[in-house]
Every structure is written in structure tokens, then in C-alpha cells.
Chains A and B, each alone.
Chain A
Amino acid sequence: GQNIDQPTEMTATEGAIVQINCTYQTSGFNGLFWYQQHAGEAPTFLSYNVLDGLEEKGRFSSFLSRSKGYSYLLLKELQMKDSASYLCAALDSNYQLIWGAGTKLIIKP
């Protein structure tokens, strides 16, 4: 079957760096997405990776290893507003998005 695994919850300190991991098993692969979802709000797009390597976008970076079925989202210089759930989603061979349950990130002062 198709599956996305990511930690349920993580805690980090304001100003620090945190890495949220995601492993995926899909029927074919056409890319991996990261979304941010604040409590009670809609998910918003953060990043898309389809080739191996690191994509940097400001304080957020996303990494992909296709051979390992692995991705991570790296958040630097954490701010309190980064407290949210981070959803990993993989695009399978039929171009359907397979979603993880999300990682709830708690930022402490």
C-alpha cells in the first residue's frame, strides 16, 4: 500500500533549527510537497521537490532522496509563528497526492 510517515509532534526553541522528517512509500513517484497548517486554518504550500537535493527558500529548506524514499523540511531561526502542523505529501504515478498525518511543531520561548 501507499504510506507516508512523519513524527506526530516535535518541540523546538525559538531561534533554533528543527528538521522534520518524512518517509514515503508510493506506487511511482512524481514529487514531494510540504504544506504548513496553522491550527484552525487551511494548509498552505511551502515547497515541492522532485529531484534529489536541497531546495532553499528563505528560512525554510526541503530535501529529497528518491532512492531512500525520504524527505525533510528544515526550519531555521525559528519564530513563534512557525508553531503549526507540517504536512508531507507525495505525488504517486497517477498524480494523486498521498498525505501524511502531519507533524505538530511546538515552539517554546
Chain B
Amino acid sequence: DTAVSQTPKYLVTQMGNDKSIKCEQNLGHDTMYWYKQDSKKFLKIMFSYNNKELIINETVPNRFSPKSPDKAHLNLHINSLELGDSAVYFCASSPPSDRGPGELFFGEGSRLTVL
């Protein structure tokens, strides 16, 4: 009954490889996000999708690309992985709200380690 689920939870890979992280939410929310949390614990937004339309695209390298087949899914593809990409990546969703992002519902996180 997980509200926001992401897979895999752990990913260890070599520099230069391409990898994907999948995210699904069963809350019926219109907006989904990808966040990166580095070793210093800062949460940095990477992408936001609203009804399959990209509405935020922070200055992340174009090696990162979000893919949303439908409003319940937002997958993250990463090409040519670099050491600095090692972090925990959180998927999140939020309902429509006059609070803007409002209350965010996070997935459990995917810990990516690039060797």
C-alpha cells in the first residue's frame, strides 16, 4: 500500500554507465518531483512534472532526464554517471494546493553509489 514507491533502493555502478530509477505514486496526485540529497543532507529539487508537463527544470546536467509515461509515474534516467552523482535520490508527489507544492509525500529514496 506504499503511496510513493521507487526502485531500486540501492544502486552501485561504475562511472560512465547509464542507469534509471523508477517512481510510482498511487495517491492520484498531479505533480511529481525528483530531489537529490547529498552527503551534506541538502535537498535539491531536480525536476517537477505536472500532468506530464515539465514545470521546473533546475540547472541539472542534461545527463539527467525525467520521463513520465503517465501522471502516476516519473522515472529518472542518468547517462554517463560521474562520481559526483553519488547521492540519495528522492521521488515525491503533492496534491493540488494553494500552498504551492503543499505537503510533499516522499518515496523511500534510492541510494546511488558511483565507483
What is the interface of chain A, defined by CB distance below 8 A to chain B?
Answer: 30-31, 33, 35, 40-45, 48, 50, 85, 87, 89, 91, 95-97, 99, 101-102
Contacts and interface: CB of A to CB of B under 8 A. Distances in A.
Interface in B16-65: 40-45, 56
B107 A91 contact: no
A91 B43 contact: no
- Most B CB contacts (10 A, CB to CB) among A35, A91, A99 go to A99
Given A30-B100, A31-B99, A96 B56 contact: yes
23 contacts: A30-B99, A30-B100, A33-B103, A40-B109, A41-B108, A42-B90, A42-B107, A42-B109, A43-B43, A43-B90, A44-B106, A45-B105, A48-B103, A85-B41, A87-B43, A95-B100, A95-B101, A96-B56, A97-B45, A97-B101, A97-B104, A99-B44, A101-B42
Interface string B84-115: 00000010000000011111111111000000
Given A91-B100, A96-B56, A42 B45 contact: no
A31 B41 CA distance: 22
Q: Which 5 A-B pairs have the closest CB atoms?
A: A95-B100, A42-B106, A99-B43, A45-B103, A102-B41
A61 B40 CA distance: 26
A101 B44 CA distance: 10
A30 B47 CA distance: 20
Nearest to A95: B100
Contacts of A102: 41
A99 B104 CA distance: 13
Contacts of A95: 100-101
Given A50-B99, A87-B43, 19 more contacts: A41-B108, A42-B106, A42-B108, A42-B109, A43-B90, A43-B106, A45-B105, A85-B41, A91-B100, A91-B101, A95-B100, A95-B101, A96-B45, A96-B56, A97-B45, A99-B42, A99-B43, A101-B41, A102-B41
